[in-house]
Amino acid sequence: MYVCLCRAVTDKAIKQAVENGCESFREVRDELDVGTCCGMCVPETRQLIDETLAKLASNISTAA
């Protein structure tokens, strides 16, 4: 699903950026150029980042 229509960034791309090491909105923005045009996607992008980071943290703690 497209999260940022202005830059054609999908939820998968955002999740993948986080899985590949981005840990903040700023890092995802710099990597994907998301949220740099109209800004309407910023809240959803931040939510996806938080959810993905939480999922990764959960996976790490259950693997330990």
At 48, is the secondary structure helix, strand, or coil?
Answer: helix
- Report how many domains make up the chain: 1
Range of the domain at 6: 2-63
Q: What is the pLDDT of residue 40?
A: 97
Q: What is the pLDDT of residue 64?
A: 62
pLDDT of 51 above 90: yes
Q: Other C-beta atoms within 10 Å of 4: how many?
A: 25
Please tell me the number of Cα atoms within 13 Å of 15 on its side-chain side.
12
User: Whole-model pTM?
Assistant: 0.92
Token representation of residue 34: 């998301």
CATH of the domain at 29: 1.10.10.1100
User: 12: exposed, middle or buried (C-beta count within 10 Å: 0-12, 13-18, 19+)?
Assistant: exposed
